[in-house]
Amino acid sequence: MTSTVSSAISMTMSDAAEVLKGSGAAGESLEVRGVFKSFGGLKAVQDFRLSLPPAALYGLIGPNGAGKTTCFNLLTGVYRPDQGEITLGGKSLIGLRPSEIAFTGLARTFQNIRLFGELSVFENVKLACHLRTTHSLAGVILRSGWQRAEEAAIRERARALLQVFNLHDRMDESARNLPYGDQRRLEIARALATGPKVLLLDEPAAGMNPQEKKDLRKLIREVRDVFGVSILMIEHDMGVVMDLCERITVLDYGVPIAEGTPHEIQKNPKVIEAYLGKE
């Protein structure tokens, strides 16, 4: 692949590979089995299961309140499952703190954008590179050679990522001053900066106009191709989901009611019922 004007990623494949060097985008699969979660009496998620192979692009859909975001929160350690198994590359994620899960290789975006608003675009991405640094506080105080080398590496990596996402000319702007669509893309860039194996996108197209949605489709596909990460995506826009996703899981009232290719899902009577109600 070469860098083209029409491409959403404005960098060559080799450039991008350089950016992600040493971030461990190696092929590892995410396995979820029998995960339950209730909030008081509300059974938010019941028997959620998923098998996400390396470099896959899967979708998670369902009506509002079906428990999709809760699934993401369970995967990333914001909530602890009542029962069930979650493993990444064979390593269990149950009971780990969200920061440890991020270190293991699971990164996410948020349905209600959660950027570091006062910090600049550049700093948002630089921060996400922090988890792979190893220098100590003493290194910070003394400005040790190692600390400065790591800071330089962070700057380079963050700059390259922003170039990939075409955000580099707004690098010094406060994140909160970006237009909405750019904020969504910055969240993806920030998540990628953590060096993930699996990327969870929570309604990335929400609030975008048709042109932005079209660009986003291209962007997501290229992120998967270029960076080699697996992507699990929650999305309401069926155009985006059906176009991008190889397989789709459908949640309804916290229960996975169907799983399959977009074609299978579209024809599944249970899915139609969940979305349109019983005839």
Ligand X SMILES: Nc1ncnc2c1ncn2[C@@H]1O[C@H](COP(=O)(O)OP(=O)(O)O)[C@@H](O)[C@H]1O
Contact 157, 129 (CB under 8 A): yes
Q: How far is the CB of 56 from ligand X (least distance, A)?
A: 21
Q: How far is the CB of 166 from other proteins (least distance, A)?
A: 16
* Binding interface with ligand X (CB under 6 A): 39, 42, 44, 62, 64-70
* Other C-beta atoms lying within 10 Å of the C-beta of residue 28: 20
What mask, x for binding other proteins by CB under 8 A, covers residues 55 to 94?
---------------------x-x----------------
What mask, x for binding Mg ion by CB under 5 A, covers residues 49 to 88?
--------------------x-------------------
Cβ neighbours of residue 266 under 8 Å, at least 6 residues apart? 242
Contact 72, 234 (CB under 8 A): yes
Q: Strands across the sheet with 247-252, in order?
A: 106-108, 198-202, 230-234, 57-61, 247-252, 255-260
d(CA 11, CA 226): 10
Specify the amino acid at residue 69. Answer: T
Count, residues near Mg ion per rule CB under 5 A: 2
Q: What residues from 107 to 136 belong to the interface with other proteins (CB under 8 A)? A: 107-108, 110, 114-120, 123, 126-131, 133, 135
**Which of the listed partners (other proteins, ligand X, Mg ion, none) does 253 bind, with a CB threshold of 5 to 8 Å by partner kind?**
none
d(CA 249, CA 274): 13
Q: How far is the CB of 234 from ligand X (least distance, A)?
A: 7
Pick the stretch among 50-58, 173-181, 251-259, 261-269 that binds other proteins (CB under 8 A). 173-181
Applying CB under 5 A, the residues found at the interface with Mg ion are 69, 111
